[in-house]
Amino acid sequence: MSYWDTSALVKLYAKEPDSTVFETHVLKTPSQPAISRIGLYEARAAFHRKEAEGVLQAGASQTLYDELLLDTASEQLRLIELDSGVEQEYGRVLSLCYQQSPPIALRTLDGLHLASARVANETEVVATDKRLREAARVLGFSLFPP
């Protein structure tokens, strides 16, 4: 039922002040969360950034990434691949966002996340990114956090 943007997904692995809110939400979700393959790449970069900033201990970025990969391999997370369906939906997402008044200047990867969510037939987007949330709202998704 829910698609997790990387801004929220990272909170499940690298503890942040509001991580428990997201941990509780994922436990209450009846089906496994969907993520895009992009989320794997972005999460890996976020883990490395947090380690470089000293937020994570040395070596933690690889441990967290391995944990994320295990969760996708065991299907605790449903991985949405970047395929021709996502590519077609991406064009529709961009058109809808740029037809708004004022237009929503959607970033490329945010558009691909939202296209992935639509292809996966999800109804909720879990994200903290303001621009992605604005676009998700326009596209008819419910949002978490509300």
Helix (H/G/I), strand (E/B), else coil: 31: coil
CATH number for position 40: 3.40.50.1010
Q: What pLDDT was estimated at residue 1?
A: 86
Provide the β-strand partners of residue 80: 36
Q: What pLDDT was estimated at residue 9?
A: 98
pLDDT digits (tens, 9 = 90+) for 122-135: 999 999 999 999 99
Instruction: For residues 9 and 23, give the distance between their C-alpha atoms in angstroms, rounded to a whole number.
Output: 10
Query: How many domains does the chain fold into?
Result: 1
Instruction: For residues 17 and 51, give the distance between their C-alpha atoms in angstroms, rounded to a whole number.
Output: 17
Pairing of strands 2-4, 124-126: parallel
pLDDT digits (tens, 9 = 90+) for 4-20: 999 999 999 999 999 99
Question: What's this model's pTM, rounded to 2 decimal places?
Answer: 0.95
pLDDT digits (tens, 9 = 90+) for 38-84: 999 999 999 999 999 999 999 999 999 999 999 999 999 999 999 99
Residues of the chain by 3-state class (helix, strand, coil), percent to 5? 55, 10, 35
Domain containing 42: what range? 2-144
